[in-house]
Every structure is written in structure tokens, then in C-alpha cells.
Structure 1
Amino acid sequence: MLFFSLIILILFNFIYSLDNGLGKTPQMGWNSWNHFGCSINETIIRSTTDALISTGLAQAGYTYVNIDDCWASSRDLKTNFIIPDPIGFPSGIASLADYVHSRGLLFGLYSDAGYNTCAGRPGSFGYEEIDAHVYAQWKVDYLKYDNCHSFLTNKTIKERYERMRDALNHTGRPIFYSACEWGDMLPALWFRTIANSWRTTGDINDDWLSMLLNIDINDLFADFAAPHGFNDPDMLEIGNGGMTLNEYRTHMSLWSITKAPLLIGCDVRTISKESLEILTNSEVIAVNQDSLGIQGKKKRIDLVYNTEVWAGPLADGSKAVLAFNRANNITQTILVLFTDLGWQLTSQVKVRDLWLHKDLGEFQGNYTAYNIESHGVQMLKMTLITL
């Protein structure tokens, strides 16, 4: 009985999704939290907006400028309207949104499905219609909705997130809805009708093991992601300095092949050339933004050598493939079997390296990825040759 109930749930999720016209591909942009935390103000947001353009990140597809927690201070006692922090945002949020829009980008805010945000600022529970109305007036394009301080609400997670979904839809303004429930109640199984993306994990930290933990958990729910609703293993840490460039390249590769949101979490005003090159690789981004929208996942795991092969289909019939060396301090060779990709043992396949931007040739039956560094990947596009 449980099995059939799960099948019905899966079919329902894939037939029905949040009907706001957004999220056909995973969202791309920048978020303030990973680098700045609560130390944010309108000057940082304006200069970050400018930097997204001057660095070429906006042209590469990073179009959302999202303020996370700590922008709000209180509520107006008469109207219950949310009031921005007068010290950090003296010009107001509407003015800031107008500036972001004047630069050709989109503007996002943060709130919470509880009484308070995680940092103790006013949450939206009980004020969903009011807050959504105000966000629409301010011309907000994106809402990240967290789940702190909610245990006394006497409402289920589903009910609280549905209330904000409905409130946003009532405004008549398309607002991307990013649910941050941390994966506690397995939202991937039932969030498709509620949000455009949903967190499947706890918060990411800027280190190798945290990044691996989040992407491994996210992989468990690969079959529940599709256009207009994507699994979210949290934001990118590339450029914050806690991992090597090789590890950041792996981070970007894993997030791209799994159709995770690509939300930059570093200070793009001072970003290094090397980090910028990772974030703006057009061929890697194209995998993430592929119109088919099917999440890539693990296809082969070698526990002896601690290597993996990840793969996912693309709209043109080709496959995105990762040969991934998870091992410490050892360079390894990784075999990619075409049968693991759903092709025949005798298949002839054209292979391209997406980080080197280089065609590697044609191969039959399998492909061998040589000299993959510790914590590194070779990211490939494989195309079946029709004879």
C-alpha cells in the first residue's frame, strides 16, 4: 500500500507544479548570506549589482540579486507593514529594487515561515498576505522563505509554505518562490505544487566535507526534480576561500550536472580571476540550464578507489558526465561505461571536455578519464554517433 501511495505521489508531483511561470531552469544569481551574513547594507547590494555586470557574471546568467536575512527591523504598529532596517537600508527596499532593475537584473528578498527569521527579525507567519502585497509593491522578483521560529505556529510545514505560495500568487506579480525548509520533512517528495525550488539539506559550509554531504543528500531525491521545481543543496561557496580551486571546480560541476540553483555566495566585488573563470564557464552553465531539466545523478560508485561516475540527459540527446575522484591525495583513472549511460556496449560516442573546451575524439563501448586529481573531476559531454 505504501509503495502504491508513493507512486501516486510521484505522478502527481510531475503532472502538477507551481503555476507561476517561473523556474523552467534552475535559478542563477547572487545571495548575500554565505559571505556577509547579517553585515549587509544597501551600499553593498548596489556595488554588488554593479560588480555582477562589470565582471560578466550577469551576462553569464547570474541575474538575481538576493538579500538574505537581516534586512528587516520591525512592523508598523498600524498597518503591520514590514519596515526595513533604517541603518542598513535608509533609502528603503523599493529604491534598492529599482536600482537593481535599472541595471537589468532581478531583485530578491528573504523572509521566514515562522514568527521570526533565523536572525530574530520579523517573520511572515500570520502576515503572509500583507508581506506578499508589500513585496509586490516593492517589485520583488524572488523570495527565499526560511523555517526558523515556527514550532509555536500550530501549523504544519506544508500549510505554512502553502500560505505564502497563495499570498504571492494573489499579488499578480510573478515572484520566484525558493523554499528553505532544510530537507527536514523530505520536501522533494511533496513540494512541487508549492515552490520553484526547495532545500534538500542543511546549510552548506565552505569546506570539502560539507559540500560533499549536501550533494550526496541531494542525489537521493534526483527523480523528484523537473522544470519549475528543483532540488536545492544550498548556495555556492566558490570564491570564499575555504576550498582549493580544484575543489571549487568540482563544486561547480556537481551543482551544474544536478540542476541545482547556481547562487553565488562570495563577494563578487573582489572575486579572483580564477574563481570568476569557474563561475562563468559557459559550457558547464549550459548543462545546468539545459531545457530538459532532468537532474543528473550517480551512475557508478567504486568504494575501493572512492571514485564515481555521475550522468544526466540533455535536451539534444547527449549526456552530461562527471568522472569524479573523491579520494584524498591520489590521482586516479576512472572508467566510464557507456552501458551505465543507457547506451549499447558497441556504441560509438563523441566526447568533449567542458572545462578544457576541447573535443577528445570518438570512443566505442567506454571512455577512460586519465589522471583525475584528488578531489577533482573531468566534466564531459557525450554524444551518441548515429551510424
Structure 2
Amino acid sequence: MIFFFALLAKSGSAQKFEQLAQTPPMGWNSWNKFGCNVSEKLIMEVADVLVQTGMADAGYEYVVIDDCWQVDRDENGEIVVDKDRFPHGMKYLADYVHSKGLKFGIYSCAGTKTCQGRPGSRGYEFQDACTYARWGVDYLKYDWCHSTTQNAQASYTLMRDALYKAGRPIVFSICEWGSNKPWEWATDVGHLWRTTGDIVDRWDAMMGIFDAQKDLWRYAGHGHWNDPDMLEVGNGGMTTEEYRTHFSLWCMLAAPLMAGNDIRNMDKETQEILTNKEMIAVNQDKLGKQAFCFRDNGDYEIWVKKLSGEEKAVCLLNRSDEAKTVEVNFSVVLKASDSYWSTDPYQLKDFRIRDLWQHEEIKPKGEVMEVKMVPHSVKVYRFVKK
């Protein structure tokens, strides 16, 4: 069976939908805050608030229901929606989300059951894909629980083919936790793939996931992104400074930006972080590059992301528990490249430097500037061509 799927993928008779996720997907997912406590009412309210708060205008377009919307299969094998929580069904809900100018996402699993023990899609891939297409689904998060001895590449390729045959363009989010190095094989299978296990709303857990991305920059690009998991911004386990760092790092990584908080009740600081359009522009840059680590001095790192128009974003990271004052040579970081040094004739005088959190231009007196950084913080600068 594995050999058959490999031949099918190479033959060109099956493929993923192209021209989707040309920049990292942005949206909201229910899991991090609500777990199994999902409902039609919640999803409709989230869609409303995405529009009302300006998050939709900032780029958040996918509203994704995670696990626990499904309860059974009927006598024909059709997936059964929880009628108590979703009384009008998924087609109704998708239509409502679409009426707000947004897109609708759903969850399933490559195994026999989902991670919460609901019916998975193994053995029902083509049937489920047709159902999702009929409902108007735009995004599928596909998990890896209860997969036993399944081959990951074959299993995800099978659902890719099922989605393609169903005929509705659906962003395919591979969630197999990086166990089988999907960055090495999933470019033609999915539009994004998880690189690690689940995120937890703690500084150390978030930074552990960030560290795992360090050598993966070469695998990211248009329509195929490394996914370090959804955002925890606003869920209460980190400080505002740490959430600002979390969001900045995900933007630098060209990671999907899937908010995971209760956006109906978020404070001003959370909303300002999630809707920082200058940081989002770095994430959504059309060049499609993931940042690389240019300098690692232990508790202090410099990350650089190439941007379109020969511009660059530079992130200074103080991951220590103490405040730091660092010296930054802007001429050096401007020349930084993913081969660690660029022969391009970049000249500092040809650029303006913007602080993307202060939303102002900085004007260092020379090439070198001292930068004060509080614990667990970042400074993010954009070199803007004059």
C-alpha cells in the first residue's frame, strides 16, 4: 500500500490544491482556549468578533473548529455532527462564517479515532473529503492520534488525494507533530505541517518549540510552511512581554498565525499584539522566507528574515531572566544572509530602520547602537529601502 501511494504521488494523477496558503495562513482555532467545549454559538460569536475587532482586516480569515464536533457515524458511514452543540449543522455554520467574509475550517484525524476519542477518518477519507466539500469547508486540520502502525506519508497523501478529488480547494494542515520529519516529504502533500508536539501556555514550553525551528528555514516557502503550533497569546500563562515575544518569533518564522484565545473577552494589550500590522506584514511578506538564526550567544540571539524588495527584518531576542544591554552593529546585521554572510552590496545609508513595536523610525548616530532589553523580550527592526 505504501508503495502504491508513492507511485500515485509521483505519477501526477493526484496532487494538492496549488495557489493556496501562498503566505502563512492566519485565523483562529478553538483548541487552546476551549478544548472540547465548542459550539455553534461560540463559532458564530468568534466570527462576529474577528470582524468587529479589526482582526479580519489584519488578515485573520480562517475560523477553525478543532476536535469534538463529531460524535459518531451513521449506517452509511457518514460522519455525525453533535446536534446538541451544532443544532443547525456544519453547512449552516460554514455559510454564516462565509457571510462575514471569512473562511471555515474543521478538524479530523488520520487514525481510527481523534485525539479525544471521536470518530477519525481512517477508512473514510474520500467520504469525509466529499462531506467537507459539500459543507463548504476551506481548511482541514488533520491530526495523528490512534494511527498505530500507519505510515505517515501514505496516510496524509491519501487524504490529500481525497480532498483533491472532492473538488473544493481546502488548505490541508498536517498535524503529525513532526514525528516523521514532514518537512522532508510534505511539500507536495500539505500546505503546512506541525514540527513539534503541542504548545503549552508557558514561556519555557513556547521557547522549546521555537528552538526546534532553528534548522528548518530551508523547508518553508509559498504553499508549504513549517507550523510550530497555534498562538497562546492572551490565554494567561505568560506575561504581556512574553506574549509580545511569542508573537514576534512566530512572525519571524513565517509561521501560520492561528490565534487561540477567547477573542470575545481579550484585553487591550492582547488585541494590540495580535493586530500589530507591521509585525504581520513581516509574517505575510510575499517573498515567503523563514527567519534564520544569524547569531547565538546563549541567552541573546539575533534572527534575520529576508523580505521582498531587498528588505530585511531583524529580531533581537533576550531569552534570559535578566535585563541586558546589547550592542548592535546595524551594518553587519543588514548584510546577514542564510549562508551567514552576504556578498550583496547592502549599504546602511540606503535604508531606514523602523522599530516594529514602537512603530517609529530609529536613527542611530553610527553603525553601532546600544539597545536595552528587559527579560524575555525582543526588539524587532525592519530595514526599509529608501
Same fold (TM over 0.5): yes
CA distance in 2, matches of 1:135, 1:27: 19
Report if the CA contact (8 A) 2:325-2:372 is conserved: yes
Residue 236 of structure 1 is matched in structure 2 by 231
Residue 5 of structure 2 is matched in structure 1 by none
Question: Does residue 1:210 correspond to 2:222, yes or no?
Answer: no
Alignment size in residue pairs: 364
Report if the CA contact (8 A) 2:230-2:259 is conserved: yes
**Aligned AA (2:60):** Y
The CA deviation string for residues 227-264 of structure 1, in whole angstroms up to 9 with x for no partner, is 10000000000010111111111111100011000000
Question: Does residue 1:278 correspond to 2:276, yes or no?
Answer: no
Q: CA RMSD in A?
A: 1.7
**Aligned AA (1:115):** T
Residue 169 of structure 1 is matched in structure 2 by 164
**Aligned AA (2:54):** G
Residue 350 of structure 1 is matched in structure 2 by 352
2:121 to 124, 129, 134: 124
Paired residue secondary structure (2:254): coil
Question: Does residue 1:320 correspond to 2:317, yes or no?
Answer: no
CA distance in 2, matches of 1:346, 1:274: 36
Report if the CA contact (8 A) 1:20-1:169 is conserved: no
Residue 112 of structure 1 is matched in structure 2 by 109
2:135 to 138, 147, 171: 138
Percent identity between matched residues is: 46
1:199 to 194, 206, 216: 194
- CA drift of 1:18 comes to 4.2
**Aligned AA (2:249):** L
Gaps of 5+ in 1: 1-11
Question: Does residue 1:310 correspond to 2:312, yes or no?
Answer: no
- CA drift of 1:185 comes to 1.0
Paired residue secondary structure (1:219): coil
Residue 26 of structure 1 is matched in structure 2 by 24
CA distance in 2, matches of 1:367, 1:29: 38
The CA deviation string for residues 264-313 of structure 1, in whole angstroms up to 9 with x for no partner, is 0000000111100001011100000000001012110112xx10000011
Distance 1:334 1:89, change over 3 A: farther
Distance 1:357 1:123, change over 3 A: same
**Aligned AA (2:303):** W
Distance 1:369 1:99, change over 3 A: farther
**Aligned AA (2:313):** A
**1:322-341 maps to which residues of 2 (within 5 A)?**
322-336=315-329, 338-340=331-333, 341=336
Residue 361 of structure 2 is matched in structure 1 by 359
Q: TM-score, normalised by structure 2?
A: 0.91
Report if the CA contact (8 A) 2:16-2:161 is conserved: no
The CA deviation string for residues 197-240 of structure 1, in whole angstroms up to 9 with x for no partner, is 00001100011011101111022211100010000000000010
Q: TM-score, normalised by structure 1?
A: 0.91
Report if the CA contact (8 A) 1:347-1:384 is conserved: no
Question: Does residue 1:289 correspond to 2:287, yes or no?
Answer: no
Residue 3 of structure 2 is matched in structure 1 by none
Residue 60 of structure 1 is matched in structure 2 by 58
Report if the CA contact (8 A) 2:323-2:372 is conserved: no
